Chains A and B, each alone.
Chain A
């Protein structure tokens, strides 16, 4: 049973696989429909712009496959950074475009005259009881992003991060987990979080 790390030309797949190797999780970097259908877990990493990411997914019909596997077959899904943002209804980077719409909401630019953008560096997340991310309450993770996900339904927010304002740091809803931060780059905390994801859906 492998984890499919989706390759769609938006980077950081190698770092994710390296982290899974350390955890002893079998994984495959792939953009192939059959591989993704056969996988037990779907991981959507990525850095870069929203519109470019969606265009790449669409060009290889990966948008359709991901929606099918995650929404219909309820496969455990983990989105990381751009991979979290792409599950939104709408993105705005650099122009407005449709997302995968697994979680309703809009991804917009961080605009705050009092803070530097991008939000870059280690920051602690806040999560409340009974959520997956509660184990990591007040732990530091590595963030690097200029856009943030405004989640429509507060119940789907897994954790927040304080950077002048409160922003969504993670999403949890049914079989969908997603992080704005990079667990694969967050040393021990990050590896533990990834490990918990696989244990949750073992």
Chain B
């Protein structure tokens, strides 16, 4: 039986791990290589490493640091940050990445999703979607590039272009640690058949209870709970196991 995935997400600013709150006020958290080593020793299901400022600062992710992070990991790793060309993806795969996470390129040049998934296979291409409710109560894609599209339309679009996974971030709940946006997740799930990683809001174990009881969530990504509390991915799995969800312990 396929197990529910609990995925730590490491966000990086180019030289240090950071954690944002509602996508701003990044707080510095130290060395990504050390963090990756700890997660590997804890046997986590997967790891996602994102340079969240690469696109905005018009630079490429630091390959040396990415390689050092991946070298710690004997589980799958997804890498994101400024990836916009086939050669960028080749660079990532060459040093051992399993997936790449596209965000800015997926928004500004959606055809790149098709180009890259045709070349590397859908399983290699995750698309990160930042969703926020607009004034009319409709979930839309949050971005600084002026692209105006609803969350549902964008998810269907990236699926049709060949994305293999959606990493769905709630902007409102990012770093707030007060629970997940289950409504958003349920809405997104209805419009797509590819796996979704639900991200944003986990701060207590009961938040994961709520998420998995009220949705058919198959994967959750978290950062703050691991940085700012004593809880480990194991504690979350233990919670899910009690709910009767399949987990790998």
Interface flags for A166-200 (1: CB within 8 Å of B; 0: not) read 00000000000000001011111011000000000
Residues A116 and B218 in contact, CB atoms below 8 Å apart? yes
Question: With A48-B124, A146-B121, A187-B74 in contact, is A121–B96 under 8 Å at CB?
Answer: no
Point out the residues of chain A lying under 8 angstroms from B71, CB to CB: 18
Residues B76 and A185 in contact, CB atoms below 8 Å apart? yes
Q: How many residues of A contact B (CB 8 A)?
A: 41
Point out the residues of chain A lying under 8 angstroms from B76, CB to CB: 142, 144, 182, 185
Residues B96 and A18 in contact, CB atoms below 8 Å apart? yes
Cα distance A103–B121 in the bound complex, in angstroms: 22
Point out the residues of chain A lying under 8 angstroms from B93, CB to CB: 11-12, 47
Give the distance to chain A from B36, nearest Cβ to Cβ, in Å.
13
Point out the residues of chain B lying under 8 angstroms from A22, CB to CB: 74
Residues B3 and A121 in contact, CB atoms below 8 Å apart? yes
Q: Which residue of B lies closest to A11 (CB)?
A: B93
Residues A124 and B1 in contact, CB atoms below 8 Å apart? yes
Residues A15 and B1 in contact, CB atoms below 8 Å apart? no
Interface flags for B117-154 (1: CB within 8 Å of A; 0: not) read 01111111000000000000000000000000000000
Residues B95 and A14 in contact, CB atoms below 8 Å apart? yes
Point out the residues of chain B lying under 8 angstroms from A28, CB to CB: none
Residues B122 and A163 in contact, CB atoms below 8 Å apart? no
Question: With A18-B96, A48-B119 in contact, is A122–B5 under 8 Å at CB?
Answer: yes
Cα distance A142–B75 in the bound complex, in angstroms: 8
Of the candidates B5, B74, B119, B165, which one forms a contact with A52 in the assembled complex, judged by CB atoms under 8 Å apart? B119
Point out the residues of chain A lying under 8 angstroms from B98, CB to CB: 12, 15, 47, 144, 182, 185
Residue numbers of A with Cβ under 8 A of B are: 9, 11-15, 18-19, 22, 47-49, 52, 82, 93-94, 116-124, 140, 142-146, 162-163, 182, 184-188, 190-191
Point out the residues of chain B lying under 8 angstroms from A191, CB to CB: 74
Residues B96 and A117 in contact, CB atoms below 8 Å apart? no
Point out the residues of chain B lying under 8 angstroms from A146, CB to CB: 121-123, 164
Residues A122 and B96 in contact, CB atoms below 8 Å apart? no
Residues B75 and A187 in contact, CB atoms below 8 Å apart? yes
Q: Which of B190-238 contact A (CB under 8 A)?
A: 193-195, 218-219
Point out the residues of chain A lying under 8 angstroms from B195, CB to CB: 116, 118, 120-121
Give the distance to chain A from B68, nearest Cβ to Cβ, in Å.
12
Point out the residues of chain B lying under 8 angstroms from A116, CB to CB: 193-195, 218
Question: With A19-B74, A142-B76, A185-B75 in contact, is A118–B123 under 8 Å at CB?
Answer: yes
Point out the residues of chain A lying under 8 angstroms from B124, CB to CB: 11, 47-48
Given pairs A48-B119, A93-B121, A124-B1, 14 additional interface contacts (CB within 8 A): A11-B90, A11-B120, A48-B121, A49-B120, A116-B218, A120-B164, A122-B2, A123-B3, A140-B3, A146-B122, A162-B1, A182-B98, A185-B98, A191-B74
**Residue among A117, A118, A122, A146 with max Cβ neighbours from chain B (10 Å):** A122
Residues B123 and A120 in contact, CB atoms below 8 Å apart? yes
**Residue among B98, B165, B193 with max Cβ neighbours from chain A (10 Å):** B98
Main secondary structure of the interface of B (DSSP, over half): loop
Cα distance A163–B195 in the bound complex, in angstroms: 13
B43 beta carbon closer than 8 Å to chain A: yes
Cα distance A186–B75 in the bound complex, in angstroms: 6
Give the distance to chain B from A46, nearest Cβ to Cβ, in Å.
9
Point out the residues of chain A lying under 8 angstroms from B242, CB to CB: none
Interface flags for B3-34 (1: CB within 8 Å of A; 0: not) read 11100000000000000000000000000000
Question: With A14-B94, A15-B96, A187-B43 in contact, is A123–B121 under 8 Å at CB?
Answer: no
Point out the residues of chain A lying under 8 angstroms from B119, CB to CB: 48-49, 52
B45 beta carbon closer than 8 Å to chain A: yes
Residues A145 and B218 in contact, CB atoms below 8 Å apart? no
Residues A11 and B45 in contact, CB atoms below 8 Å apart? no
Cα distance A93–B119 in the bound complex, in angstroms: 11
B60 beta carbon closer than 8 Å to chain A: no
Give the distance to chain B from A105, nearest Cβ to Cβ, in Å.
19
